[in-house]
Amino acid sequence: MNASDMRAVQVVEAKAPFVVTRLPVPEPGPGQVRVRVRACGICGGENLTRLGLLGVRLPRVPGHEIAGTVDAVGAGVGAWAVGERVGVGWHGGSCFVCDTCRTGDFVNCAERRIVGLHYDGGYAEYLVAPQDTLARIPDAFSFEEAGPMMCAGVTSFNALRHCGARPGDTVAVQGVGGIGHLAVQFADKMGFRTVAIGLGPESEAVARRLGADEYLDSTEGSAGEALARLGGAAAVISTAVNSPAQADLVQGLAPNGRLVVIGADHNSLAVSPDLLVFGRREIAGWYSGHAKDSEEAMAFAALKGVRPMIETRPLEEAEEAFQGLGKAEFRAVLTV
């Protein structure tokens, strides 16, 4: 074993299982930071790497729910010091010069990169990332808790704070899984009348424990119709990757309500335009967030007591943990 080597997990070929290996410890270049990874959450987004999509070049180390400490900094890095607790999420860097970056919309950068797809991610002992992708982790969070906040946490937090609802409004969260269980907590702490929509009666107890005021079982019939009977929602945050179920929820929107899709199965939504025209309802999407968004999500969560429910596994069990997606209560996290 070489001291300059590290343990890592790679996607070596498309549609094949993860491979446990050893790689050289990367060196940070100008404007980059090397992070000693302590924990990395497992997300369905890793499937893009496994399938060889979105321009990924294999072999590649996946993982974008990263928590660790600054281990080394490259030339020109002044904002980060060795030993600081930091996270790195889905958004892997912006060009800062395209039209969207010049308006401050860094997440929609024309040249944006994704951690674990366009460069190596957190299924390893170390990674190197641009300094603008780092988010400071509050002391209230363990590394294992902070990892999922870098994707599931920031995505649900961002979608809710931009959904247009106000405190006291009814907001529904479809799905009480890896993202949804955080969205329910955030919605409750933001002061919304929170309606959780799950699959089966067994999810009701945990949904209410997380802060849901109402629970709808989508196996009992149309969740959209049931939501309408509750008076309709100002916003629905859809974390479930099921286009027909998402389309059904549009009828559960109150006038001027908005369906915000953050989980997608890549199929079309079949929605009657009458539901949109009569009532001025909207369908929108929300995409992740940049490092400052992640800091704000964690700061709010630390202040209000929002935490991911996690199950930890060692790095070498990445394949088994990935195959168990949707079965862990509720977010699997690799410890490094």
pLDDT per residue as tens digits for the range 155-190: 999 999 999 999 999 999 999 999 999 999 999 999
Find the helix packing angle between 180-189 and 154-161, rounded to 10°. Answer: 40
Name the domain boundary from 262, 285, 308: 285
Check: CB of residue 195 under 8 Å from CB of residue 215.
yes
Confirm whether 79 is domain-assigned. yes
Query: 278 with 295, same domain?
Result: no
Query: 42 with 129, same domain?
Result: yes
Confirm whether 307 is domain-assigned. yes
Query: 130 with 279, same domain?
Result: no
- What CATH number has the domain bearing residue 199? 3.40.50.720
Confirm whether 237 is domain-assigned. yes
Using alpha carbons, select from 186, 164, 212, 226 the residue that is nearest to residue 308. 186
What is the model's pTM? 0.95
Domain ranges, residue 109: 5-151+288-335
Query: 310 with 265, same domain?
Result: no
49 φ/ψ sector (left φ>0, alpha ψ -120 to 50, else beta): alpha
Confirm whether 156 is domain-assigned. no
Domain count, the chain: 2
Check: CB of residue 116 under 8 Å from CB of residue 43.
no
Confirm whether 158 is domain-assigned. no
Distance in angstroms (rounded) separating the CA atoms of residues 144 and 146: 6
pLDDT at 3: 62
Q: Both tokens of residue 332?
A: 């699997």
Query: 61 with 121, same domain?
Result: yes
Burial 13-23 (b: 16+ CB within 10 A, else e): eeeeebeeeeb
Find the helix packing angle between 180-189 and 291-304, rounded to 10°. Answer: 60
| pLDDT of 328 above 70 | no
Q: Which residue has the tokens 């920031």?
A: 154
Query: 268 with 294, same domain?
Result: no
Q: Both tokens of residue 69?
A: 């400490």
Distance in angstroms (rounded) separating the CA atoms of residues 207 and 215: 7
The per-residue pLDDT for range 193-236, each reduced to its tens digit, is: 999 999 999 999 999 999 999 999 999 999 999 999 999 999 99
Confirm whether 157 is domain-assigned. no
Cis peptide before 17 (omega within 30 of 0): no
The CA distances from residue 145 to 155, 248, 292, in Å, are 15, 33, 18
Query: 172 with 275, same domain?
Result: yes
Query: 308 with 259, same domain?
Result: no
Share of the chain above pLDDT 70, in %: 99
| pLDDT of 1 above 60 | no
Using alpha carbons, select from 113, 79, 77, 80 the residue that is nearest to residue 94. 113
Query: 9 with 138, same domain?
Result: yes
Distance in angstroms (rounded) separating the CA atoms of residues 59 and 37: 19
Query: 11 with 145, same domain?
Result: yes
Query: 135 with 261, same domain?
Result: no
- What CATH number has the domain bearing residue 142? 3.90.180.10
The per-residue pLDDT for range 263-287, each reduced to its tens digit, is: 888 889 999 999 999 999 999 999 9
